[in-house]
Amino acid sequence: MTTAWELVLTTLVAAAAVMTAAAVWSHRLRRFAVVDAAWGAAFVLVAVATAVVATIIGADGGWRRWLLVVLVALWGLRLTRHLWSRVRAAGHDDPRYEEMLGGSFREVGFGTVVRRVFALQGFAVALISAPVVVGVATHTRWWWAVALGVGVWVVGVVFEAVGDAQLAAYRRDEHRGPVLDRGLWAWTRHPNYFGDACVWWGLWLAGALAAGPIAGLATLPAPIVMTLFLTVVTGAKPTEKRMEGRPGWDAYAARTSMFLPRPPRR
């Protein structure tokens, strides 16, 4: 029980540290979108900190502990770098947060931003990290779950990284069409969000489920919550709402899957 509480406390402190630093930076820039860049970094710090604590207190985990840290770090640092470059390059704040909070950063006030953006996402990081935290401190029972999880993680990272690269290339193209409907974007309207979901289902498999059915069931809400964030809360649904009515969007949406990839309809 002591081990569990030490890991829970470490998770909360690590998530809070990143989100506090991000909140201070967002106040300086007057931009909600700083939280997006902090999102991946928070998961990385949680994974590293809990793995170090698990090692110090002599918890189980073995080399799978460091495999999970590497997987989280590769995903999280790439995402942080990508989103931070987007925040710096953008001349405006992310409209999703303005719609969600009912005004600009200056209009809603810093206290509201801290409570409804940074505190909420810090809590989400702590919850979603549960499969990784369990994985860094438990014995591996099912190696097939580790192998399957790494495979799903690879699919997710490929979809997310390639999808982001294709979107960036589309935005740089002076002769681009009204919507991006090539590459992975012809198979799903949100390859980056789908990839993100796969990453966390893969980490659940390799982290928690690999420790056995009890750990898997206990942490199942984590990938479910992440998928809900990506499809409903701050991901696909708000993005689609902004795209409605744009030239070419209705036809693109009619032939392309919203989330799960599939061949486009003819």
Question: Domain spans of the chain?
Answer: 1-139, 140-266
The rounded distance, in Å, linking the Cα atoms of 31 and 61 is 39
DSSP state of 231: I
Both structure tokens of 164: 């982001």
d(CA 46, CA 108): 30
Read off the pLDDT of residues 40-74 as tens digits, 9 standing for 90 and up. Answer: 999 999 999 999 999 998 888 788 999 999 999 99
The reported pLDDT for the residue numbered 187 is: 96
CA–CA gap between residue 73 and residue 129 (Å, rounded): 13
Identify whether the C-beta of residue 88 lies closer than 8 Å to the C-beta of residue 109: no
CA–CA dist 141, 213 (Å, integer) = 9
Ranges of residues in the chain with a pLDDT under 70 are 1-2, 90-94, 103
3-class SS of residue 20: helix
| Continuous H helices in the chain | 2-29, 34-56, 62-89, 95-101, 105-108, 110-113, 120-128, 130-135, 143-172, 191-207, 213-218, 221-228, 236-243, 249-255
162: its two tokens: 């390639």
Interatomic CA distance for residues 32 and 240, integer angstroms: 19
Dist. CA 154–CA 150, nearest whole Å = 6
pLDDT of the residue at 2: 54
Cα Dmax for the chain: 60
Structure-block tokens of residue 40: 């991946």
Residue 211 DSSP one-character state: G
Q: Please answer whether residues 98 and 179 qualify as being in contact, where contact means their C-beta atoms are separated by less than 8 angstroms.
A: no
